[in-house]
Amino acid sequence: MTNKIRTLDDLRRIREASTDLTSARSKGRASIVVGMGTCGIAAGAREVMTAALQELEKRNIHDVSVTTTGCIGMCQQEPLVDVIAPGMGRITYGLVTPEDMAAIVAEHIVNGHIVERLVIGRAD
Amino acid sequence: MPIFRSHILVCGGTGCSSSGSQDVQKVLRDEIAKRNLDKEILVVQTGCHGMCEMGPIVVVYPEGTFYCRVQASDVPELVGEHIVKGRPVQRLLYSVPEDASRVPFYKDIPFYGKQHRIALKNCGYINPDNIEEYIARGGYEGLGKALTSMTSAQVIDEVKASGLRGRGGGGFPTGLKWSFAAKSPGPKKYVICNADEGDPGAFMDRSLIEGDPHAIIEGMMIGAYAIGADEGYVYCRAEYPLAIERLKTAIAQAEEFGLMGTDVLGTGFNFTLHIKEGAGAFVCGEETALMGSIEGRRGMPMPRPPFPAVHGLWGKPTNINNVETWANVAQIIVNGGAWYASMGTEKSKGTKVFALTGKVKHTGLVEVPMGITLREIIFDIGGGILNDRKFKAVQIGGPSGGCLTEEHLDLPVSYESLTGAGAIMGSGGMVVMDEDNCMVDVAKFFLEFTQRESCGKCVPCREGTKHMLLLLEKITSGRGTMEDISTLEQLAEMVREMSLCGLGQTAPNPVITTLRYFRDEYEAHIRDKRCPSHACTALLRYEIDPETCKRCGLCAKNCPVSCISGSRQEPYRIDQEKCIRCGTCFQKCPFGAIGKN
């Protein structure tokens, strides 16, 4: 039995490993919001979202939430992705491809650098 | 581990299950699989959220969107709109009764606004059937801390410092109780969890076990370590099959993980836990009767002393606490007694779970800090009286409790204040009544319950409650005399003073408090042969006003005993001799021509 808890350290280890079980039930330190209106889906938002999840999984990041939102009226810029990270406000990226998404996770979420070439809007 | 971007929590408590949450869950899983979302969306079954009336409840995280009364047929829309397109389904959101505005998020709902959840911390948030989720929330840290870094005396001191008192109703200081059992000599001791929740309307113990069984187990193990016990029993009524099921799963998981059994955490501490299913006798909630029932005898109370701490289960020192008391223990050990004592009033510390029912807009389970006022519970959390009628009384403490009135609304809730006003904390049942409730009838209802549940061992309880009930029946049927009131008072005092156990000692409380605060209603029943709230059918009289009557004949057509006569020419009238006062004519008359008196 691999999960047998014999010491307090074992318990802590299981706790550590288990935090991911419920981490999606809190907002997390940052969030990625993918526009998934009909326009977004048609422009490939589905693939962008999958890319975001894969990139987070690859990097073993569990405290970033990924949610969807409806059309915000800028359909020609879809797929639209908002990233909200502490101290950097809400950044809206436009015409995001799955490859861009991976870069956004790496740069914006991990390194704290906004991917300027894709930015189409900012808000606090 | 794959990343799930969203968790959909479906309540699997008894309340939501009976309103269809199991179907919702099944359809939801199918729908998620059908749309190939099962790699990124996780469906989790949780325990009770407390707002059972709004069930089945579904919460979507990370946003924390709170959906009410979700049916299986709503699922495709919920997945298609919210999960795929990120648009919350407005019509399923919680709606504020005052202005029908929609509140999307869990945290913003007024029902939860004033609550402070400690015992209910994990209820509705974790999957009770998964020990890892409990551990992720800091579960078994309290046990670990107690076993590895505290002596049993330190554990008892910490619980004493917290000011935690018995949540089953007695309010005896928990730390002190533990110290008695700890002092009793002997190699074999027991801990017992009293989950024989029998008060009509109270269901916090059930929800706690269903929603967070490991918290109870952890609390019991800490208690066992403190008093030197190695074996425990959960005495749970058989009417709670789901609670028993979840508890069994939890015990099996704790054993599998090595958190229960021999040499727990390598400290040499051993513990085994059994479940004893009770047959549902109210008196078995009394600790000596409960132990008798575990031993296989008939559930009847024994005179104390000897107290269970000295001579308990099978004659061994035993410590019994209620479910809610145990649920608080682990967090007290983790966060310290001072943390717990920082909440509440001077003598009543921490929080208490109440089961709010009756004529309030939001019924359900609420956990509030001690010292909160009844007004805050009933009007802020409960949303006020149903149909905006007038508040009349609140019955606190179940059948052994008492009725409090409007003048008590600003009373800060604590063990002392409630007892002082004539009610008791009890297990925390809170039945709200409006002007349509007859207080004599209410007293009769609760006395009927205790009378039926009296075990019959001692005369005052067996005979006293019977005669009190007969007197109440006499009064509500209009045959009472003024002398009956004083006889009732005498009997109530006698039963209270002379009964053997808590059941009898508290059974007269509803009568005593209604006599104290609503004496005029008793007098109206006797002197005027009238029930001011129009609730006692024997004293009701329906009459048709010949002026308002349009002679449509609807009343006569619907009367089940054909006691209404009349014609197009003659106004209709009711034959009072034959009338059974069912009220059908009153409801059917489209012109309001029938009066109730």
DSSP, collapsed to helix, strand or coil, labels residue B45 as strand
Contacts of range B149-156, beta carbons closer than 8 Å, 24 or more positions apart: B150/B333, B152/B182, B152/B225, B152/B226, B152/B227, B152/B228, B153/B182, B155/B222, B155/B225, B155/B226, B155/B333, B156/B182, B156/B226
The pLDDT value recorded for residue A1 is 46
Interchain CB distance below 8 Å, A15 and B63: no
The H or E element spanning position B263 is strand B261-264
Rg (CA), chain A: 17
The one-letter amino acid at A32: I
Neighbours of B224 (CB within 10 A): 25
Chain B CB contacts of A6 under 8 Å are 258, 265-266
Overall average pLDDT of the B492-497 stretch: 95
The CA-atom distances, in angstroms, between B488 and each of A10, B186, B404, B471, B495 are 63, 47, 19, 7, 10
Interchain CB distance below 8 Å, A69 and B87: yes
Angle at B479 between CA B478 and CA B483, to 5 degrees: 115
Chain B CB contacts of A62 under 8 Å are 3
Q: Does A44 map to a domain?
A: yes
CA distance A10 to chain B (A): 9
Contact B273, B260 (CB under 8 A): yes
pLDDT digits (tens, 9 = 90+) for B105-134: 887 888 888 899 999 999 989 999 999 999
B90 touches chain A (CB under 8 A): no
Chain A CB contacts of B126 under 8 Å are 22
Interchain CB distance below 8 Å, B86 and A28: no
pLDDT digits (tens, 9 = 90+) for A46-89: 899 888 888 888 888 888 888 888 887 888 888 999 998 888 88
Place B1 in a pLDDT band, splitting at 50, 70 and 90.
low
pLDDT digits (tens, 9 = 90+) for B290-302: 999 999 999 999 9
Chain A CB contacts of B60 under 8 Å are none
Q: Does A1 map to a domain?
A: no
Between A and B, how many CB-CB pairs are < 8 A?
112
The pLDDT value recorded for residue B388 is 87
Whether B394 has a pLDDT exceeding 90, the answer reads yes
The pLDDT value recorded for residue A65 is 86
Best mutation target among B1, B4, B5 (most A Cβ atoms within 10 Å) is: B5
E runs forming strands in B325-468: 351-358, 364-369, 391-396, 402-405, 429-434
Neighbours of B29 (CB within 10 A): 16
Whether B596 has a pLDDT exceeding 90, the answer reads no
- Distance, in Å, from the CA atom of B453 to the CA atom of B429, rounded to the nearest integer, reads 18
- Distance, in Å, from the CA atom of B220 to the CA atom of B265, rounded to the nearest integer, reads 16
Angle at A78 between CA A74 and CA A81, to 5 degrees: 100
Overall average pLDDT of the B25-46 stretch: 92
E runs forming strands in B269-410: 269-278, 318-322, 351-358, 364-369, 391-396, 402-405
Interchain CB distance below 8 Å, B132 and A21: yes
Q: Which residue has tokens 């479910």? A: B323
pLDDT mean across residues, chain B:
92
Overall average pLDDT of the B269-283 stretch: 93
Q: How many domains does chain A have?
A: 1
- Burial label, B229 (beta-carbon count in 10 A; 0-12, 13-18, 19+): buried
Q: Supply the DSSP string of A37-105, one letter for each residue.
A: SHHHHHTTHHHHHHHHHHHHHHTT--SEEEEEE---S-GGGPSPEEEE-TTS-EEEE-S--HHHHHHHI
pLDDT digits (tens, 9 = 90+) for B129-155: 999 999 999 999 999 999 999 999 999
The pLDDT value recorded for residue B344 is 94
CA distance B9 to chain A (A): 9
The pLDDT value recorded for residue A2 is 55
Which residue from B332, B383, B349 is spatially nearest to B112, judged by alpha carbons? Answer: B383
More confident residue, B570 or B498: B498
The pLDDT value recorded for residue A89 is 84
Query: Which CATH number do you get for residue A105?
Result: 3.40.30.10
The one-letter amino acid at B567: S
Six token digits for residue B587 = 């409801």
Six token digits for residue B180 = 């008695």
B261 touches chain A (CB under 8 A): no
Residues in a beta bridge with B431: B357, B395
Which residues touch B436 (CB under 8 Å, ≥6 apart)? B359, B389, B533, B534, B535
Chain A CB contacts of B42 under 8 Å are 24
Chain A CB contacts of B259 under 8 Å are 5, 11
Residues in a beta bridge with B321: B193
Whether B256 has a pLDDT exceeding 90, the answer reads yes
Interchain CB distance below 8 Å, A8 and B132: no
- Cβ-count burial B160-199 (b if 16+ within 10 Å, e if not): bbbbbbbbbbbbebbbebbbebbebeeeebbbbbbbbbbb
Residue in chain B nearest A33 by alpha carbon = B86
The pLDDT value recorded for residue B109 is 86
Q: Which domain holds residue A33?
A: 25-123
The H or E element spanning position B375 is helix B374-375
Neighbours of B98 (CB within 10 A): 11
CA distance A42 to chain B (A): 12
Could you check whether the bond before residue B305 is cis, i.e. omega within 30 degrees of 0?
A: yes
- Distance, in Å, from the CA atom of B262 to the CA atom of B253, rounded to the nearest integer, reads 15
Of B397-401, B437-441, B449-453, which range is least confident? Answer: B397-401
Contact B465, B506 (CB under 8 A): no
Q: Does A16 map to a domain?
A: no
Rg (CA), chain B: 27
B78 touches chain A (CB under 8 A): no
Q: Does A69 map to a domain?
A: yes
DSSP, collapsed to helix, strand or coil, labels residue B162 as helix
- Cβ-count burial B122-139 (b if 16+ within 10 Å, e if not): bbbbbbbbbbbbbbbbbb
Contact B595, B542 (CB under 8 A): yes
- Going along chain B from its start, the domains and CATH numbers come out as 6-109 (3.40.30.10), 131-341 (3.40.50.11540), 351-434 (3.10.20.600), 439-527 (1.20.1440.230), 540-596 (3.30.70.20)
First to last CA, chain B: 69
CA distance B233 to chain A (A): 23
Which residue from B51, B60, B179 is spatially nearest to B112, judged by alpha carbons? Answer: B51
Edge-to-edge strand order for the sheet containing B351-358? B364-369, B351-358, B429-434, B391-396, B402-405
Interchain CB distance below 8 Å, B7 and A62: no
Chain B CB contacts of A22 under 8 Å are 7, 125-126, 133, 136-137
First to last CA, chain A: 50
Q: Does A36 map to a domain?
A: yes
Six token digits for residue A37 = 């209106």
Residues in chain B: 597
Edge-to-edge strand order for the sheet containing A81-84? A64-69, A30-35, A81-84, A90-93, A119-123
CA distance B440 to chain A (A): 49
The pLDDT value recorded for residue B169 is 80
Neighbours of B297 (CB within 10 A): 11
- Burial label, B36 (beta-carbon count in 10 A; 0-12, 13-18, 19+): exposed
- Distance, in Å, from the CA atom of B502 to the CA atom of B301, rounded to the nearest integer, reads 9
Chain B CB contacts of A8 under 8 Å are 144, 148, 265
Place B311 in a pLDDT band, splitting at 50, 70 and 90.
very high
